[in-house]
Structure 1
């Protein structure tokens, strides 16, 4: 089976382009000293796994901290990462594993608020795909958001753990939402990794079933052998060091939102979100159900689980070409901090 093995070359080219753009830009905002305006790119604003970003804005918690936060949406976490490296944004709401990947490339990026210690992802299989476990991935077309994304490496890990080599299946960049659903419905993919509200829509349409559920701690441990910290706010280490007051305000606002999520129903949360999120997710009831199905993934504190961070490194060291063979050189202590979230809850 042909695979998307050109992904490593593509990713390297994109990063190189990002660094070139960065060099051409004006001096970093980090030098301005605790700015009140912050730009954050989110790996899909309408994805439930990244819900805390938009919800914090809608609840007015950023404003309460004296911050003006500009949220931008980029469906692929890999592309959001590139925007941060290029200096186009101050922070990214995306998967924590990007901080490890970037450290192997000489870039210091740090998670400052950890939204979830599980991926919040599910592996969905088509009704007639003939897949009863990851052992059946060989010969199949597996959907991911994009090459080099967290869903890409998680798919590789799950397949490899079940004995399916990367050249035995095909990965397909299926995105999320409507594009993912269409790919599953039209046979473009046999299975794929996605999040809510996409997973909820597939369930309601009767197009597929959940094979692996990593929205819960139990399901994540079963699939990945431990916790897997994912959704987070990560920022350039230089920005964090130069702007601790701004970062603390961001943490204060986001941790307050995590507490809100843990004490409110999916319907109550959905009512705070933009109306187009519900209309694009099959309606208000479907969107609320999607939030209920996933909101248990969120921590109440925003604090990283250290063992989970180690498990992320273990997974990446097996299938991420940038991390493979370099696990011993990665300093996990530089990929996250609990300082700001701990102060926010204390």
Structure 2
């Protein structure tokens, strides 16, 4: 019996010592990172991944800083105020990327038929006067954030599609999306172009009328996830882990908000309800499930880019004199973090 007691005691002692290194080991420090973004539904995968702990699981303590214009997001990353950015492409973005400051590493929004996101919206006065279609933009005054913004490009695509000159549209840069909304509501412009959440708010208030959706007229790769060139070079493992967490957020977003029934109608079931708290915390104005069901934009669940379209965007901005001719897309696109991108040019 004594031998048995000694044997059991020995096992217990050994087990205790085996646990000591685990108990005494300090928790590994997380990489701190900041992402600059807009408070739109298009940033939902980041918000979902943040709230569900996907970044924490990858050893990243993520802080989200929100801005009111895409250009400010790009500047934040280029200046080092943020480690990552996720927003629309702009002329300013391409110029910063052309200087070697930024690297595109994954996709964000894509204007895809059947998925509404950005709307053309006329003022009530202009609508009542006959402004009923995107074809009617010539001769109108339109609020945009800045020259070279994605809203500027949206008008450029319409001009190319319908054969009118872009200078037939008077663009009024007002610096931010809230200012664009105020300009329309206050009767300072005939129209503006807004994400669904914002456009539907104006329509509900009776100050604007949606006259079309960009996805139905000019599909394009609207936005991307990007980081600094320095991060790709010096912190690649962290960037890889960031993309992994982001992809989990994309997959959850797609499952929650991009599902359709057998007739092609958008659905919003239990997964959508479960994801809504993350959107309600971060998206402005605070969306309802009905609004998200209408305006949850398309994003590739794996973060794959339409690379060919990015080349086309860059060429357009260069033709407008908004981006230097020396800028080359292949210099700022890093396609190594996500597999299976679309439209990748063949190497010569």
* TM-score, reference length from structure 1: 0.74
RMSD over aligned Cα atoms? 2.8
Map of 2:274 onto structure 1:
268
1:298 equivalent in alignment to 2:293: no
Identify the residue that residue 38 of structure 1 maps to in structure 2: 33
Question: How far apart, in 2, do the equivalents of 1:35 and 1:107 lie?
Answer: 28
Question: Displaced runs of 4+ in structure 1, greater than 6 A?
Answer: none
Asked whether the 8 Å contact 2:107–2:304 carries over to 1, the reply is yes
Aligned 1:153-232 pairs, distance under 5 A:
153-159=153-159, 162=162, 163-166=164-167, 168-173=169-174, 175-177=176-178, 179-214=179-214, 216=215, 219=216, 222-223=217-218, 227-232=219-224
- Count of equivalent residues: 289
Q: Give the structure-2-normalised TM-score.
A: 0.73
Mean Cα deviation higher: 291-300 or 190-199: 291-300
Question: Are the counterparts in 1 of residues 69 and 175 from structure 2 also a CA contact under 8 Å?
Answer: no
Distance 1:92 1:255, change over 3 A: same
Q: 2:228 is matched with which residue: 236, 240, 243?
A: 236
Q: Once the 2 structures are TM-superposed, how far is the Cα of residue 63 of structure 1 from its aligned partner? A: 0.6
Give 1:322 deviation, angstroms: 1.9
Write the distance in 2 (CA, Å) between the matches of 1:149 and 1:198.
17
Q: Is the 8 A contact 1:112 1:340 kept in 2?
A: yes
The Cα of 1:209 is off from its aligned counterpart by: 2.9
Match of 1:128 in 2: 125
After TM superposition, give the deviation of residue 74 of structure 1 in Å: 1.2
Q: Which residue of 2 aligns with 1:340?
A: 337
Whether contact under 8 Å (1:99, 1:111) holds in the other structure is: no
8 Å contact kept, 1:38–1:68: yes
User: What does residue 319 of structure 2 align with?
Assistant: 318
Q: Could you report, residue by residue, the CA deviation over 1:11-46 in whole angstroms, capped at 9, with x for unpaired residues?
A: xxxxxxxxxxxxxxxxxxxxxxx971111111x2x2
Paired position in structure 1 for 2:7 = none
CA distance change for structure 1 residues 159 and 127 in 2, over 3 Å: closer, same or farther?
A: farther
1-structure distance, mates of 2:69, 2:51 = 23
Larger gyration radius, structure 1 or structure 2: 2
* Distance change in 2, residues 1:136/1:318 (3 Å): farther
> Structure 2: how far apart are the matches of 1:35 and 1:102?
29
Residue 41 to residue 277, structure 1, CA distance change in 2 (3 Å):
closer
Aligned to 1:249: 241
Secondary structure at the aligned position of 2:177 is classed as coil
Q: Which runs of 5+ in 2 are unaligned?
A: 1-28, 257-267, 341-348
